[in-house]
Structure 1
Amino acid sequence: MHSDSSTKHFPHKWIQENKSKHEWLQVDKKEEKPAKDNHPLDGQSRLLLTVHGLCAVANALSGTFVNVYLWKARHDFAVIGWFTLIHHLTMAFTFWIAGKWVKEHNKMNCLRAGVAVSALFYLLVLWFGDKAADNYLILGVVQGLASGFFWLAFNVVYFEVTDPDNRDRFNGWAGLLGSGAGMVAPWVSGYLIVHMQAANGYRLIFTISLSVFVIGVIISFFLKKRKSEGRYAWLHTWTCLQKKNTAWRTVGLALVAQGVREGVFGFMIALLVYVHTGSEMSLGNFSLITSAVALISFMIIGRVLKPQHRKVAMLIGSAAMVIVILPFFWKVNYWTLLTFGIGVALFFPLFSIPMTSSVFDLIGSDEESVKRREEYVVMRELALNAGRLLGTAVFLIFIAWVKAPAAMNWLLLFIGSSPLAAWFFMRKVHARKRAEAG
C-alpha cells in the first residue's frame, strides 16, 4: 500500500508538485513546517476531529444503550439483528446515492446532513418511547441514512486534509477521541438511568445526544467549503473490480472480512453485558474500563506506528482479537466479557489504524485515483457494509435455527476470526506495494 520511506510516497509528492493546480487538497498550509516523524495536523484536520469527537460523544451517550432499550421492550435478539441489518443496508444504499452529492455538489452539506439526521434519529426514539421496538424498521432506515451521509462526507474530507505522512496520526487521534467518549459518556448514561426512573433516564440521555448533534452541526459550519470536481461515476465500483490487475479486488475482500466482525460485534457484546448483568450501570462500567484501555492504546500506537510496520501490526492485532474470544468457551459472564473487552481495546488499534491508513493511501496512489476519491470512498464503504450485512445475516440465520446457548460461542469465534482474513488479503497488497517501491 505504501513505500517504506514516506519521502518516496508518490501521492504526497504528486500533491506537492501540483499545489497550484489542485489547491483544494492542501487547506490552510501557508508554510510547510518540518516534522520529526509525521507531518502535523492543520487547522481543518483538527476541526474535522472536533466534529468527529462531538458525534462520538453523542453516539456513546445513547448509541450504547439503544440496543438495550430495544431489548428491554422485546427481549428478542432477532429484533436487534434486523434493526442492525436494515441500518447497514440503508447505509450502503445511501453511500452509493449520496456519492453524486459529495462528488458534484457540496460535500460539507452532506456531512451536516449526517449529523442532523442523527439528531432526528434520537428525536424519533424519544417520540416512539415504549413502542420503539415496534418501529425498528423506521429507526434502522433513519440511522442508516445518518451514518451514510456523515461517514461518506467525513471520509472524503479526511482524505483531502491528510496525507500519507500524517494519516496514521489523524487515525490515532480519531481513535483516541472515540475512546475518550466511549470511556466517559456510557458511564454517565448508565449512572443517570440507574439513579433516575429508567424511562426518565433514557429520555434524558437521548435528549442530550440530540443536543450534542445540534452543536456538531453548528461547529461544522467552520469547516471550509471544499471544491467539487468532475462527474460522479455510478458504476465505478463494478468497473474497477472488473479489472484483472487492480489491488482493489484484494482490498475489497479485506474490507468485507473486516465488516463481517463489525456487523455482529458492534451490537452483540454490549447487549451480552447487559443480558448477563441486568444493569445499565454495569454496561457503563464496562465501557469506562475498556475505553480507557483503548484510549491509551490508540494514543501510543497512533504516535509510534510507522508505515513499514503496518503488516506486522495488523497480524498481531487480528490474532489477539481472536484469542480473547476463547475465554467464552469456559464461561460467559461479566468477567470473561470484560477480559474480552480489555483485550480488544488493547489490540484493536494495531489492526484498525494500519487498515484504514493503507486503504486511503491506495486511494491516493496516483492522480487518477485522487480524482476519483469519492468513488473509491464509496467502494470502500460498500465493501465494509457488504461484510456487515453478511455477518448480521449469518447471525440471524444462526439464532433462528440453533437454540443451544453454548453454540453462540462458536458463532462468535467464527465471526470474530474475520480480521485474520482481512490481514491475509492486506498482506498481499503490502507485499505488492513493497515490490513496486523496490
Structure 2
Amino acid sequence: MRIGILLHALFYALVLWKGSQASPYWMGLLLGSGAGFYWYGYNLLSLRETDTKLRGEFGSWTGMLSSLATMAAPLLSGFLIASVREIGYPLVFSLSLAFFAWAFLISQRLVTNEESELPAPIFCRRHPNWNRVLLGNFFQGIREGVFVFFASIMVVMATGSEWALGKFTAVNALFSTVSFFAVGKLLRWYWYNESMLIGSFVSTGAIALFLFGQNYRTIMLYGIITAIFTPFFLVPFAARVFHVIDEAHERYEREYVVEREIVLNGGRVLSIIAFISTYRFLPREWIATYLLLVGSMQILAVLILRNVGFRLKKSF
C-alpha cells in the first residue's frame, strides 16, 4: 500500500514537472501501477481486519468518508483554478502531492504482517461461489469502466467550467455521504439481495435520462440519483465478495484478492475499448443506447451474486 501511495505521489510530481508536456503513457503507468499496489494492500488489510458482522458497517463508513473527501476536494480545486488561473493547476497538484506524502507518513503506523508462505498460482481454485464472484465483478467492471469518468466529461463539455464540475462532484458526494450513512445504519444482511437489486435497477434507470437530453440539468439529476442508490449496491456487494473469500479458503486470501482485481479491471478495459469504438464509428445518437446497455451490466452482476451462499449465524 505504501508503494501505491508513493507511485501516486510520483504521478503528481511528474505533472508538476512536465505540465502539459507530460507523457500520457508515463502518467497512465504511474497511476495504474499505483492503484494496483494500493488497492491490493487496502483490500487485503480490510479483509483481515474486519469480520463478517462488521463488513457492511465498515463499507458504509469508508464510503461515507470517501464521499466527504470527494465533496471537499472538487470545491477547493475548482475554486482555486477559477480564482487564480495562472497558478491554479500547479497549486492543486502541489496540494495533491502533499496529501499523498501525508498519507505515506500515516501508513507508517500500520502494523506489518509477515507472510510465511509464498503466493500460489492464480485462477487455480474451483470454488463454485468464487467463480460466480469473478463473473459478477467482471460485469460490474464493464459498468464502471465508462461511468467512472463519463459524467465528469459531460459536465465539462456542457459548461466548459471546472467550477461547474466541482459543484457537480460536491453535490453528488453530499448525497452519497448521506446514503452511505443510512445504508450502514439500517441495512441488515438478510436485505442484501433486495438492496443490491434496488441499487442496480435505479442506477441503470437513471441512465435513460440521457435519451432525452445531455445538458447540465440532466447530468446533475443523473448524478444525484446514482449517488443516492449506488451505496445500496456497493456495500452489500463488497461484503458478499469478502464473505465468499472467507468461506472459500483463508489460505488463498491474497490470491483471491488479486484474481478479483484482474477480472474487475479486465471488465473496465473492455468497456472503455467498446466506448471508444462506439464513439468513433457509430452515430452520436447511439451513445445513450450504449450507455444504457453498459449500465445494465450491474443488474447482471446482482443476478449472479444473489444466489451465492451467505450462511450466517442467527445472532448476526
Question: What range describes the TM-score normalised by the shorter chain of this pair?
Answer: over 0.9
SS of the equivalent of 2:307 reads helix
Alignment-derived partner of residue 362 in structure 1? 244
Alignment-derived partner of residue 61 in structure 2? 173
Q: 1:262 to 1:220 in 2, by over 3 A?
A: same
Alignment-derived partner of residue 272 in structure 1? 154
Superposition deviation, residue 128 in structure 1: 2.0
Kept after mapping to 1: 8 A contact 2:175/2:228: yes
Superposition deviation, residue 435 in structure 1: 11
Q: Which of 181, 195, 201 does residue 88 from structure 2 map onto?
A: 201
Distance (whole Å) between structure 1 residues aligned to residue 216 and residue 312 of structure 2: 47
Count of paired positions: 314
Distance (whole Å) between structure 1 residues aligned to residue 73 and residue 36 of structure 2: 23
Distance (whole Å) between structure 2 residues aligned to residue 249 and residue 361 of structure 1: 14
Alignment-derived partner of residue 38 in structure 2? 150
Alignment-derived partner of residue 225 in structure 1? 112
Task: Give the 5 Å matches for 1:26-425.
Answer: 111-132=1-22, 135-197=23-85, 199-233=86-120, 235-237=121-123, 239-240=124-125, 243=126, 246-365=128-247, 369-402=249-282, 404-425=283-304
SS of the equivalent of 2:5 reads helix
Kept after mapping to 1: 8 A contact 2:136/2:301: yes
SS of the equivalent of 2:59 reads helix
Alignment-derived partner of residue 307 in structure 2? 428
The code of the aligned residue for 1:261 comes to R
TM-score, with structure 2 as normaliser:
0.96
Distance (whole Å) between structure 1 residues aligned to residue 7 and residue 52 of structure 2: 32
The code of the aligned residue for 2:205 comes to I
Distance (whole Å) between structure 2 residues aligned to residue 358 and residue 157 of structure 1: 16
Kept after mapping to 1: 8 A contact 2:130/2:245: no
Distance (whole Å) between structure 1 residues aligned to residue 186 and residue 303 of structure 2: 23
TM-score, with structure 1 as normaliser:
0.70
SS of the equivalent of 2:195 reads helix
**Looking at CA atoms only, which structure, 1 or 2, has the larger radius of gyration?**
1
The code of the aligned residue for 2:277 comes to I
The code of the aligned residue for 1:330 comes to F
The code of the aligned residue for 2:242 comes to F
**Structure 2: 5+ residue runs without aligned partners?**
none
SS of the equivalent of 1:165 reads helix
Distance (whole Å) between structure 2 residues aligned to residue 160 and residue 434 of structure 1: 19
Distance (whole Å) between structure 1 residues aligned to residue 116 and residue 253 of structure 2: 10
SS of the equivalent of 1:372 reads helix
Superposition deviation, residue 365 in structure 1: 1.1
Distance (whole Å) between structure 2 residues aligned to residue 365 and residue 434 of structure 1: 9
Superposition deviation, residue 398 in structure 1: 1.2
Superposition deviation, residue 434 in structure 1: 5.2
The code of the aligned residue for 2:192 comes to R
Superposition deviation, residue 407 in structure 1: 1.7
Distance (whole Å) between structure 2 residues aligned to residue 127 and residue 417 of structure 1: 41
Distance (whole Å) between structure 1 residues aligned to residue 253 and residue 44 of structure 2: 7
The alignment-based identity, stated in percent, is 34
Superposition deviation, residue 428 in structure 1: 2.0
The code of the aligned residue for 1:213 comes to F
Runs of 4+ in 1 over 3 A off after TM superposition: 432-437
Distance (whole Å) between structure 2 residues aligned to residue 400 and residue 324 of structure 1: 25
SS of the equivalent of 1:425 reads helix
Alignment-derived partner of residue 15 in structure 1? none
Kept after mapping to 1: 8 A contact 2:175/2:224: yes
Superposition deviation, residue 236 in structure 1: 2.4
CA RMSD of aligned residues (A): 1.6
